[in-house]
Each structure stands twice: as C-alpha cells, then as structure tokens.
C-alpha cells in the first residue's frame, strides 16, 4: 500500500509538470499556489456556481443574477492592470478574498491564504490565455492629494464632462438615461453602481480602489477604462467627488456638506442641462 | 471562415430575410469585381430612438435607421465583407495603413470595418458626447475604453482573425463590426452591393462573404464562389 501511495504521488507530480496548469501556478507575495491542490478546493467550494468546466454554468447558475464568472473567457472585472489585459495573481486572490458585494459570490476569508492562492492557480487553468500572455502591468497610482473643495468641484465637472451620469445618474443613484439599456458582455442585464445605497464597491473600499476601478474599467461590463483620457490629478478629483455621493461620514462628504449650503446657487445641477456634451 | 458573435434571437431571423448571393463576379485586369444582392423578403430597417441623446438626435432631419440590412437599387446589399479565403498570394509590399472608424451622430461610420490581423484601427469621436468603444471578441482580447469628446483617436490592433461585434454601452443603439482578416484581399460592399478585389494575379481563388446580424446562417448556402480567373 505504501508503494502505491508513493507511485500515486509521483504520478501526481508528473501530471502536474506535464499539464498546462503547472505553468500557471500562482504567486501571491511569498505564497505559491498549486493548481492541483486548487482543483480539489474548487470542486468542493466553487463548482456549484462556476461549473466543472469553469464556464460559469454550474448547477446553481440558472438561479443566480449576476451570473457566475466564466473563467474560460479570462475576462475579469477587478484588475490593477489595463483594460484588455490579464489581471495579476494578487488581483484574483483579492477578488476571492473580498467576494463580490451584491452578488452571490461571498468573501472566502474562511479559507486559508494558501488555499486561496491554490484556487487562483486552478482558476487560471481554464483559459489558454494564461499560457500565451502575461498579466498586464499594474497601473501607477500617484499619492493621493489632500481633499479640497476645489478638487471636489473639479471632480464634479469631470463627472458631468465624462458622462458618468448617463449610467450612474445625475445624483449617482444608478438611474441615468442609459442605465436601463445596459448589458454585460454576455448580453445579461446589468445595473450601474448606485452610490446612494452605501454598499461597498465591487473591487475594494479604499480611495485607491475607486481610482483603480474607473481607470482600468471593469472588463466584461459596460464600465469602460478612462486611463487613456484622464490625467492622474483629474482622477483623484473625481474620486473625491464620488465619495460625496455616498452616505458615509468621510472627509470628502464633510468638506462638501460644509461648503454646499452657502454656495448651492453657484453650481449647476449635473445632468442633461449640466453644461457639457451633446446635451447642451 | 466567418466567426460571428451573435445571440440566439438573431440566429432565428434569417428566414425572414431571404437569401443573398454574389450574383456576378467578373475577372478584370488584376482583380475581381462583383455584386452582392439580397433575394426574397426584406427585413425593414428599424428607426433608432436617440431621444436620450438630444445632441445627436438633432443632427438628423429624419430619424436615423439601423444599418444591419441596407439594400440598394436592384437588391444590392451593403456592408457585406467579401474576401479571398483561399488561394490568395502571400502578402507583399508595405504594411497596411491604419483604418479608421468615426463616431459621428452617435453612430459608427462605417458600420462594418474590415482590417487585417495586426493592422491598426483608429477610432475617432467627432461627437460632443462621451462614447465607450467596447469590442466583444471571443478569441481576441476584450477591452472597453471611454472616449470623451475632444480626446485623441484610440489606436488598437487585433491579433487573430475574427468577426467582432463592437458596442457603445452608453448608447445602446450604437453598433459596429470589426472584421479582422488574415488576407489583404477584402472589400466591404458599397451601397449598390458592389465589391472590387484589386491587385489579384491570375489564379483560382475562394471568395467568402460575411454579413452582420441575422443573415449569417444563409452564408453557408452561398458562401463559396470558386472562380478560375482568366484575366490579369
């Protein structure tokens, strides 16, 4: 029996070396994820939604909205890398750890860090893209400037000028004129984020996460990348304005609310008459 | 080979549309010309409601219509990509120049853009509103970029042969097709359905045509035209 186990272990190692998955082991800091180990975990925890083939067609998928991620397409929402590129292992690790708020994907913090690293390695075996391409280079995020009313006002102008409101709504309630028509890349209806709900963002909670989300875009969804057209200083101003749309006691919200009562007549409402774009 | 990303709904519609075919293909000096026609019952173009984007709507004296099926005089079918799928000589000469697609009046112009693998495509925004360019490939990389008014053209390439549906999510009616081909011998039929494949030496070629939305099932009935080119 002992010999059999040893042979089995050797076979497992040889299989791992020969399979494409071996080349796609995950590296998260000092953690090294193993696809064969991840497969066992995947088939216990993930297969019900994401399916045995990783295509998002698990047995629960029919009752889930938004649909589970299709790993065979290798298109991921939460990335530190430019639109159209593969995410880093750390990005996938963070997504598994964080889960996706307002969806059926829970945070997988109950699993150990090595386990989540193993899952990252296995998720990468579902698409040949991981064999042919390297992850994109993470975008650079400059240090966050101080929150100022001038910055918030400029961010508000950018919210208008870049037509963010057409999906997210003039007040950030997710009710812009384009909102009802939005579909994801698989033609399933999808809703833009409603800042007023107070729910977390899908890809993290910090200001840096928010910066990263609209600069890289959420691939597979209608949310595009603004990295090609928005300067870093402008992006930080937009971050600070977006925070004022949330019902939180943030520094941005406090600055805005302290300024607004004595100046509300000076600003134009965001929206069709907000003074930008084709609607002028 | 035509590769088309489409929905189940559009797969069911070809019966209503009739059959299209290359009705003539003549070998000229160093090229092939022909005409793509649509036979049978026509699907009427739908009116686009641009009321949510008044700045674009006001550019049209009559409401704009969808461009998936554009039939000209004599049944000529516009926006059909005709290309040499087999038998073409290897490409020589300088690299292909960039192709351009312009967003104007909240529509993509042209509606169908053919390009070679790794040929640069420039996407221009001439509107006073933000668009997002969102190709939905299955074998190329999917990306999605915002293009606010007044920003420079986007410059992109596609590495693999594919028929790619392209959307602007902000304006749900905006749709285009990027047809990425290995061959440099292709032509998108004009408003009369006419096409010209130039600079082809004498030889035997297989022509294939690709059309957008709904018509693609009929491609299999008439997609190959084998022709011995005696000209040149």
pLDDT at B130 over 70: yes
Q: What residues have CB less than 8 Å from B50, skipping those under 6 apart? A: B56, B57, B60, B63, B64, B106, B171, B173
pLDDT of res. A22: 45
Angstroms from B88 CA to nearest CA on chain A: 29
Are A266 and A208 found together in one domain?
Answer: yes
Same domain? For A153 and A119 the reply is no
Structural domains in chain A (count):
2
In a domain, B28, yes or no: yes
Residue A254 lies in a domain: yes
DSSP code at position B67: -
Judgement on whether residues A119 and A218 belong to the same structural domain of the protein: no
Query: Which range, of A154-158, B100-104, B109-113, B227-231, averages the lowest pLDDT?
Result: B227-231
The reported pLDDT for the residue numbered B69 is 80
Residue at A190 is within a domain: yes
Residue B131's CATH number: 2.60.40.420
Closest Cα partner for A89 from A100, A77, A80? A80
Q: Is residue B1 in a domain?
A: no
Q: Percent of chain A scored above 90 by pLDDT?
A: 86
The residue among A231 and A198 whose pLDDT is bigger is: A231
One domain for residues A177 and A60: no
Pairwise pLDDT comparison (B33 vs A215), residue with the higher score = A215
A141 inside domain: no
pLDDT of amino acid B14: 30
The reply to whether residue A161 touches residue B172, judged by beta carbons under 8 angstroms, is: no
pLDDT of residue A263: 94
Percent of chain B with pLDDT over 70: 73
Chain B contact probe: residue of A69, A72, A84 with most B CBs at under 10 A: A84
A246 and A271 within one domain: yes
pLDDT at B10 over 90: no
Query: Are B166 and B67 spatial neighbours (Cβ–Cβ below 8 Å)?
Result: no
Tell me: do A166 and A206 sit in the same domain.
yes
A14 min Cα distance to partner chain B (Å): 30
The domain containing residue A170 runs over which residues?
149-279
Q: How confident is the model at residue A157 (pLDDT cuts 50, 70, 90)?
A: very high
Structural domain ending residue among the three candidates A132, A160, A180: A132
Residues A160 and A264 in one domain: yes
Tens of pLDDT along A175-202?
999 999 999 999 999 999 999 998 999 9
Confidence (pLDDT) at B28: 59
Is the residue at A78 inside a domain? yes
Interface test with A, best of B53, B144, B166, B167 (most A CBs within 10 A): B144
CA angle at B147 for the pair B180 and B111, rounded to the nearest 5° = 40
Helices (H), A105-231: 113-123, 129-132, 149-161, 165-168, 207-216
Last residue of a domain, one of A132, A160, A177: A132
- What DSSP state is assigned to residue A184? -
Per the model's pLDDT, the better-predicted residue between A234 and B93 turns out to be A234
Domain boundary, last residue among A132, A157, A172: A132
Paired sense of beta strands B194-197 and B204-210, if any: unpaired
Interface predicted TM-score (ipTM): 0.88
Mean pLDDT of chain A, nearest integer: 91
Q: In terms of domains, do A167 and A241 share one?
A: yes
Please indicate if any CB of chain A lies within 8 Å of the CB of B124.
no
**Rg over CA atoms, chain B:** 18
Asked whether residue A53 is domain-assigned, the answer is yes
How far is it, in rounded angstroms, from Cα A181 to Cα B169?
Answer: 8
Structural domain total, chain B:
1
**C-alpha–C-alpha distance, residues B158 and B99, integer Å:** 12
Question: What pLDDT score was predicted for residue B158?
Answer: 96
Same domain, A121 and A177: no
- pLDDT of the residue at B22: 55
Which pLDDT score is estimated for A117? Answer: 98
How high is the pLDDT of residue A280? 30
B26: Cβ–Cβ under 8 A, 6 or more apart, which residues?
B32, B33, B34
Maximum alpha-carbon separation in chain B: 55
A9 is a domain residue = no
- Shortest distance, CA B128 to any CA of chain A (angstroms): 5
CB–CB contact A280 B128 (8 Å): yes
Q: Which domain holds residue B39?
A: 8-228
Give yes or no: residues A166 and A273 share one domain. yes
B96 pLDDT band (50/70/90 cuts)? confident
Alpha carbon dihedral B130, A193, B134, A57, in 10-degree steps, equals -170
Q: Are residues A105 and A163 in the same domain?
A: no
* Domain harbouring A40, CATH code: 1.10.760.10
Pairs across A and B, CB distance < 8 A = 96
B33-92: pLDDT as tens digits: 888 887 766 667 889 999 999 999 999 999 899 988 888 878 888 888 888 888 777 776
> By CA distance, what is A86's nearest residue in B?
B141
Strands (E), B138-198: 145-147, 154-156, 162-167, 175-181, 186-188, 194-197
The model's pTM: 0.85
Residue B221 has pLDDT above 50, yes or no: no
- Residue B30 has a pLDDT of 67
- What is the residue whose two structure tokens read 């080979």? B1
Pairing mode of beta strands B121-125, B99-104: parallel
Which residue of B4, B141, B168 is the best one to mutate when testing the A interface, meaning the one whose CB has the most A CBs within 10 A? B141
A165 and A245 co-located in one domain: yes
Mean pLDDT across B180-209: 84
Alpha-carbon distance values, A192 to A195, A196, B131, B168 (Å): 9, 12, 16, 15
Which pLDDT score, from 0 to 100, does residue A142 have?
98
Q: In chain A, which residue's Cα lies nearest the Cα of B127? A: A278
Asked whether residue B205 is domain-assigned, the answer is yes
Band (pLDDT 50/70/90 cuts) for residue B21 is: low
Query: What average pLDDT score do residues B167-172 get?
Result: 97
Q: In the numeric block, which tokens belong to residue A137? A: 């280079």
* For chain A, the helix, strand and coil percentages under 3-state DSSP, each to the nearest 5: 50, 5, 50
| B150 domain residue, yes or no | yes
């Amino acid at each position: 029996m002992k010999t059999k186990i040893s042979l089995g272990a050797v076979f497992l190692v040889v299989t791992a070396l020969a399979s494409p998955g071996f080349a796609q082991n995950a590296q998260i800091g000092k953690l090294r994820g193993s696809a064969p180990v991840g497969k066992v975990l995947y088939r216990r925890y993930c297969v019900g939604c994401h399916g045995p083939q990783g295509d998002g067609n698990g047995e629960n998928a029919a009752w889930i909205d938004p649909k589970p991620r299709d790993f065979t397409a290798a298109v991921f929402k939460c990335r530190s890398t430019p639109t159209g590129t593969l995410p880093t292992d750390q990005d996938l690790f963070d997504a598994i750890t964080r889960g996706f708020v307002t969806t059926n994907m829970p945070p997988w913090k109950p699993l150990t860090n090595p386990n989540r690293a193993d899952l990252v390695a296995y998720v990468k075996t579902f698409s040949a893209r991981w064999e042919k391409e390297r992850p994109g280079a993470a975008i650079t995020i400059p240090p966050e400037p101080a929150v100022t009313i001038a910055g918030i006002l400029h961010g508000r102008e950018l919210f208008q000028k870049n037509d963010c409101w057409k999906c997210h709504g003039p007040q950030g309630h997710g009710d812009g004129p384009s909102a009802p028509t939005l579909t994801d890349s698989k033609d399933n209806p999808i809703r833009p984020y409603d800042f007023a709900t107070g729910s977390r963002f899908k890809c993290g909670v910090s200001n840096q996460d928010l910066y990263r989300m609209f600069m890289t875009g959420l691939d597979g969804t209608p949310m595009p990348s603004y990295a090609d057209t928005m300067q870093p200083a402008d992006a930080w101003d937009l971050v600070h304005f977006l925070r004022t749309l949330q019902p939180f006691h943030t520094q941005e919200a406090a600055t805005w609310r302290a300024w607004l009562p004595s100046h509300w007549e000076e600003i134009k409402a965001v929206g069709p008459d907000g003074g930008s774009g084709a609607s002028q | 080979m035509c590769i088309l990303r489409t929905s189940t709904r559009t797969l069911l519609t070809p019966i209503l549309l009739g059959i299209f075919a290359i009705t003539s293909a003549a070998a000229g000096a160093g090229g092939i010309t022909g005409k793509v026609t649509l036979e049978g019952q026509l699907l009427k173009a739908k009116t686009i409601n641009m009321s949510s984007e008044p700045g674009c709507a006001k550019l049209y004296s009559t409401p704009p219509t969808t461009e998936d099926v554009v039939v000209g005089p004599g049944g000529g079918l516009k926006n059909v990509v005709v290309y040499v799928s087999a038998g073409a000589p290897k490409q020589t000469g300088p690299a292909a120049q960039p192709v351009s697609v312009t967003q104007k009046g909240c529509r993509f112009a042209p509606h169908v853009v053919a390009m070679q693998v790794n040929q640069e495509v420039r996407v221009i925004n001439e509107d006073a509103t933000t668009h997002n360019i969102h190709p939905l490939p299955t074998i190329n990389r999917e990306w999605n970029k915002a293009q606010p008014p007044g920003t420079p053209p986007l410059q992109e390439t596609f590495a693999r042969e594919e028929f790619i549906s392209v959307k602007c999510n902000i304006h749900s009616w905006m749709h285009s097709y990027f047809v990425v081909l290995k061959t440099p011998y292709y032509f998108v039929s004009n408003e009369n359905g006419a096409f010209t494949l130039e600079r082809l030496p004498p030889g035997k070629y297989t022509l294939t045509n690709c059309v957008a939305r709904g018509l693609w099932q009929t491609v299999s009935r008439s997609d190959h035209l084998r022709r011995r080119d005696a000209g040149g």
